Structure 1
Amino acid sequence: MDDDVTLHGPASWEGSPRRYGPVARVAVLSDIHANIPAFEAVLAEPDVAAADLVVLNGDLTWGPQPQETYELIAALGDRALCVRGNCDRYAAEIGTGVRVADTPRQQWIADRHSPEALGFLTRVPFGVVVEIDGLGPVHFCHGSPRSDHELVTPATPSERFARLSAAIDARVLVTGHSHLQFDRTVAGLRSVNPGSVGQPYHSGGPGTAHWALLGPDVRLRTTRYEVSDAVARAHRAADPDAERYVAALLTPPAPQEIVEEAESLVFVN
């Protein structure tokens, strides 16, 4: 790790990750990026509706419909465990005046959160641990256990993975951030990414949300949704970055491109 990299780990008010469980089934939804049609489609899946907990693994509201995304999360009540992503951190900091927006879109997104939604984002923890039947303790974080903007991919070398996971007490590490769905064993731990609900990087057709079901094993899942609805909502919302957002929905970059770029950069906001 470069000495000049600023790590974005637990906030000053946080201690060790809060622990939950044991439970039988956990649905993991990551990187929703305020894509309401994709989010609603996954929430409607029977296995998600029946899960004991729904872990929302970061980058929740950063996209065309942030307030609506917050309201769907709030409606899940105590079943939802949220983890803070780098974009959630940005939205909270900009929305509360702690940070100055670098682009018009950053300010636009922050402005579309109600005071309640911004308050929610400021309280989302960096990570959680859930005891899941068949898997044992599972550590959830957005980037890595040491920073919300560190990328973990299917090609992360065992040496770096061992360093980034050294402090956790778990048998399985679930991350997001890379928008890549995978399940591998490395450096003695199981490394899982459910992929992205709202903006997955994959080789399949558009209109596919990625997620995972945990317990008693790991099942990587996909759900079809109406991508034209997501495109129309981005334009109706007057998202300043609508064209780039839509392009990523309709023609996502190839996973291998993302892996190569991510492993060359390691830390990406």
Structure 2
Amino acid sequence: MAVLHGPRPDEPPTPVLGPVERVAVLSDVHANIPALRAVLSERDVASADLVVFCGDLTWGPEPEETVSLVGELGSRAVFVRGNADRAVLELAAGDRPRERPRDAWMPGRHSPEALDLLSRFHFNVVVDVVGLGPVRFCHGSPRGDTEVITPETPEARFADLMSGHPESTLVSGHTHLQFDRRVGDRRSVNPGSVGLAFHDGEAGTAMWALLGPDVSPRRTPFDVADAVLRAWDAGDPSAEVMERMMTTPPTVAEVVAHAEERVFSD
């Protein structure tokens, strides 16, 4: 049986913020600096009341540079904890076996200040957005950071994972797929990935979303050649994987089939 990896035992109550008029949602940055810079320079991100990050912020080639960039947002930045953010903390504390290429490398790429930032990420966040009402933000699902939600998640499973949560709109990350769909009487939204978008379009595309008064999926081009070079220059043990995912991303159909078969993916 899959482990949900839900809230920590000492997790404070889910923050409830707002009302606000505009929320920019950025997810799965994966420490891709060229992509992050491109999205942060977008006018609608710069002017948003809040910028919500839906997890997996620093698990990538340039964690410290990523923390520095999001730090410039000040109090406008709101952070949700992803499975990769949790992994960094577990590895740094010696609470997780080092099995993958990045596992031994990643903790040393995070300063104590960066680790402290990750430790303060929320499991879920609710923001009252004008035009949408209360919106719940998570990484995987409201009950676990490795649960996958896709454009084809069955209505019964979606209703189950939303059980106990009254919000009519859920924004999740984790799958790196951008979508906006109705599931019964609710709305399931994924802004897509800033740093490693999985899609059928052109390489070098960062995906995000603007909320308020409706949901507006957005795409921003970035210099993919620069991102690839920076991954190799950083000495990232997964630079080859990053290059492949950025230059020839998995298709939507491939990701959906894989995710829905597994339901949970770390």
Report the TM-score when normalising by structure 1: 0.97
Contact 1:151 1:263 in 2 (8 A): yes
Paired residues, what number? 266
1:250 — aligned with what?
A: 247
For the pair 1:263 / 2:260, whether they are aligned, the reply is: yes
* Alpha-carbon separation, structure 2, partners of 1:216 and 1:116: 36
**Rounded Cα–Cα distance in structure 1 between residues aligned with 2:67 and 2:112:** 11
1:24 aligns with 2:25: no
- SS state at 2:55 partner: coil
Could you say which residue in structure 2 is the equivalent of 1:125?
122
The answer to whether residue 86 in structure 2 is matched with residue 89 in structure 1 is yes
Q: Which residue of structure 2 aligns with residue 214 of structure 1?
A: 211
Q: Determine the structure 2 residue equivalent to 1:78.
A: 75
- What residue number does 1:163 align with? 160
The 1-side partners of 2:185 and 2:44 are apart by: 29
How far did residue 149 of structure 1 move? 0.3
**Partner residue, 2:100:** 103
**Structure 1 CA distance, aligned partners of 2:17 and 2:264?**
29
Deviations 1:7-54 (A, max 9, x none): 111111214311000000000000000000000000000000000000
Kindly indicate whether the alpha-carbon contact (under 8 Å) linking 1:96 and 1:118 is maintained by their aligned counterparts in 2: no
| CA–CA separation in structure 1 for the residues paired with 2:131 and 2:194 | 25
**Contact 2:200–2:251 under 8 Å retained in 1:** yes
Q: Which sections of structure 2, spanning at least 5 residues, go unmatched?
A: none
Query: Residues 181 and 220 of structure 1 are in contact (CA less than 8 Å); yes or no, is this contact kept in structure 2?
Result: yes
Query: Structure 1: how far apart are the matches of 2:124 and 2:70?
Result: 17
Q: Which residue of 1 aligns with 2:8?
A: 11
- Percentage identity across paired residues of the two chains: 56
User: 3-state DSSP class of the match of 2:216?
Assistant: strand
Separation in 2, partners of 1:176, 1:129: 15
Task: Quote how far apart the aligned CAs of 1:196 are.
Answer: 0.2
The partner residue of 1:56 within 53, 76, 85 is: 53
Secondary structure in structure 1 of the residue aligned to 2:98: coil
Match of 1:45 among 20, 42, 46: 42
Question: Given that residues 101 and 238 in structure 2 are in contact (C-alpha distance below 8 angstroms), is that contact kept between their aligned partners in structure 1?
Answer: no
RMSD of Structure 2 on Structure 1 (CA): 0.8
| 2:19 counterpart SS class | strand
Corresponding residue for residue 203 of structure 1: 200
**1:248 partner letter:** M
Contact 1:159 / 1:187 at 8 angstroms: preserved in 2?
Answer: no
Per-residue CA distance 1:161-214 (angstroms, 9 max, x = gap): 000011212110000000000000103210000000000000111111000000
After TM superposition, what 4+ stretches of structure 1 lie above 6 angstroms from structure 2? none
* 1:142 has 2:139 as partner: yes
Structure 2 matches for 1:186-197, cutoff 5 A? 186-197=183-194
Offset of 1:95 from its aligned partner? 1.3
